[in-house]
Amino acid sequence: MSFLQYFVGLAAAAGSNFYDFDLQHWGLEREYNEPWLSYFRRVREHAAWNTKNFSAWDLSLDGARQLNTLVQMDPNIYYYSYPLYATRLDSATGYHIPDKGINLILQAKARLIGMKTAFWDDGTATDSTWFQNDGVVNTCSQYGPTSGLNGPEPIAEYRPDEPAIPGQWYIFGPINMDHWYVIGQSIMNAEERTNLYTIYSDHCKILWSLSP
């Protein structure tokens, strides 16, 4: 239900006149002059939450395991990932706490992820390696598919002096940025903007250099 609260909160902040979420075909659009509380209750009771046909399931531990088991890597595709982190270890507690520069809206979420243990349906649990996060996603889950029942996909650190191999994940980082910063949804000074542009520009050069 936290997913739903986040969604409705975002919709409330943006307002239907500012951004259209294009959810009319699911019956999830806010009706004309409908109070936000009424809208929240109606969306909360929607039948979609009892299915696996939406992103909240795909992003859950068991949903990701199911996808990582069923979906196979294409041997002709190059895969790249930029793991991010915006938390640091608190030695007094063993948990992760938000960095000072993290987006204010993400601070509470980063702190929660930084101390949360989650469970798969079979009873196994995440450990402290899952505490580091970028304010939205656990950093360890950004390296590539690892939880499938067939084992982790091949994952390697990107090295510019080595030829890239299709059908394998290449990792850049981890990079000290929060989840929104890396897509430009933060207030940045000139130096920060330049650093972000450089990441995208350098990756474009890598893609351009790949064999067709």
Both 26 and 76 in a single domain? no
Task: Specify if 55 maps to a domain.
Answer: no
Which residues 6+ apart lie within 8 Å of 155 measured at CB?
143, 144, 146, 168, 169, 171
Q: Domain holding 124: CATH number?
A: 3.40.50.1820
Angle between helices 36-44 and 2-14 (to 10 degrees): 150
Both 9 and 28 in a single domain? yes
Question: What range defines the domain where residue 101 resides?
Answer: 61-209
Average pLDDT over residues 11-33: 66
pLDDT in tens, 130-187: 999 999 999 999 999 999 999 999 999 999 999 999 999 999 989 999 999 998 888 8
State residue 11's pLDDT score: 55
Both 37 and 72 in a single domain? no
Distance between CA 122 and CA 45 in Å, rounded? 28
pLDDT in tens, 43-87: 888 887 788 887 888 889 999 999 999 998 999 999 999 999 999
Question: What's the mean pLDDT when you consider all of the chain?
Answer: 87
- In which order are the strands placed within the sheet that holds 79-81? 79-81, 169-171, 155-157
Both 174 and 146 in a single domain? yes
State residue 124's pLDDT score: 95
Q: Is pLDDT above 70 for 1?
A: no
